[in-house]
Amino acid sequence: MSFPELPDFPWDSLADHAVRARAHPDGVVDLSVGTPVDPVPPLIQAALASVADLPGYPTTHGSPALRAAAVGALARRHGVTGLDPDAVLPTIGSKELVAWLPTLLGARSVVVPELAYPTYEIGARLAGADVVRSDGLTALGPAAPGLIWVNSPSNPTGRVLPVAHLRKIVDWARQRGTIVASDECYLALGWEASPVSILHPDVCGGDVTGLLAVHSLSKSSSLAGYRAGFVTGDPALVAGLLEVRRHAGMIVPRPVQAAMTAALDDDGHVAAQQARFGRRRDHLRAALTAAGFTIEHSEAGLYLWATRGEPAWDTVSWLASLGILVAPGTYYGPTGDRHVRIALTATDDRIAAAASRLSTATR
């Protein structure tokens, strides 16, 4: 038996640094992974429990209420109008969709950003597709790739792509019959910039042909443990994905669908969560800057993209000595070799602990 040849799982290489960080007398401040730490809002918990006694299979397409809630949320929160609820497909979190999309689409070549969420490349490898790292269209020459990944706000950098740039990508892809998939996991977390969906009329002109937007409720609604996401956009592409997923049994459980519906119908908890992340960001950013770090991009999203002008692993080691665990920029691409990604996903008291340690540290 031969499995696909994949790189080592990135976070495994943090093990020794994690041991060192956890040995800190005041405990570890783990800012290495963007996993939620705040409680699931009660209204979502109640929705999950409300259908716990239903024994039948859920639908792969998701309930009509869920699909309508997704369309409504995108319109209210992000100005995305005119979507067909039938062109919404719930996914088992967003990562599985990212990983399997090249396979489901039959893409033979995939373009990913220079600095990118590692699963874009993993998905291409699982599909046996060629991978091209590029932030510019001119570098692609006359090629017509099967799939282009866009991620704004970016993981790891927090960079926001302007509307004009997104429009240029859409126009370029349509001329070549290339599908554009936009990972919009952090769309609700704008700080110094306002991220825009690829499905926004200012970007696509109201025509979603060839476009897919991937969404996750992990960050905005603290639902990482629920594995709650969805994809929407081009009705024909979504219909094709639905057909394959029906055959493969890739179905979001009914209680999770109910929880997603409640989360998408309520904007209050999203605003409250954004405010929490904003306070933590302000506190941590000030402490890092005072400690000699330079913060680059980071105008949106869930992370601070930071450098001390040294190799990334040296910074990881220095922070681990303070009991602070972060991710090296090398996880996200070769050009991240002098940066670290610092997540905002720690409780207020742990963020305060990290800030305090940074304020008394010496290089």
| Cα four-point dihedral sign 8, 153, 48, 61 | negative
What's the pLDDT score for residue 12?
82
Q: Give the separation between CA 273 and CA 276, rounded to whole angstroms.
A: 5
What's the pLDDT score for residue 77?
97
Q: What is 53-266's CATH number?
A: 3.40.640.10
What's the pLDDT score for residue 136?
81
Report the alpha-carbon angle 351-319-119, nearest 5: 85
pTM: 0.95
Tell me, letter by letter, the H, E, C secondary structure of the chain. CCCCCCCCCHHHHHHHHHHHHHCCCCCCEECCCCCCCCCCCHHHHHHHHHCCCCCCCCCCCCCHHHHHHHHHHHHHHHCCCCCCHHHEEEEECCHHHHHHHHHHHCCCEEEECCCCCHHHHHHHHHCCCEEEECCCCHHHCCCCCCEEEEECCCCCCCCCCCHHHHHHHHHHHHHHCCEEEEECCCCCCECCCCCCCCCCHHHHCCCCCCEEEEEECCCCCCCHHHCEEEEEECHHHHHHHHHHHHHHCCCCCHHHHHHHHHHHHCCHHHHHHHHHHHHHHHHHHHHHHHCCCEEECCCECCEEEEECCCCHHHHHHHHHHCCEECEEHHHHCHHHCCCEEEECCCCHHHHHHHHHHHHHCCC
Q: Domain segments of the chain: what residues?
A: 10-39+269-360, 53-266
Q: Are 211 and 224 in contact (CB under 8 A)?
A: no
Mean pLDDT by 10 residues, the chain (363 residues): 74 89 95 93 97 94 98 98 97 96 95 96 94 84 90 97 96 95 97 97 97 97 96 98 96 98 98 97 97 97 97 97 97 96 96 96 70
The domain defined by 10-39+269-360 folds into Aspartate Aminotransferase, domain 1 (3.90.1150)
What's the pLDDT score for residue 1?
64
What's the pLDDT score for residue 6?
77
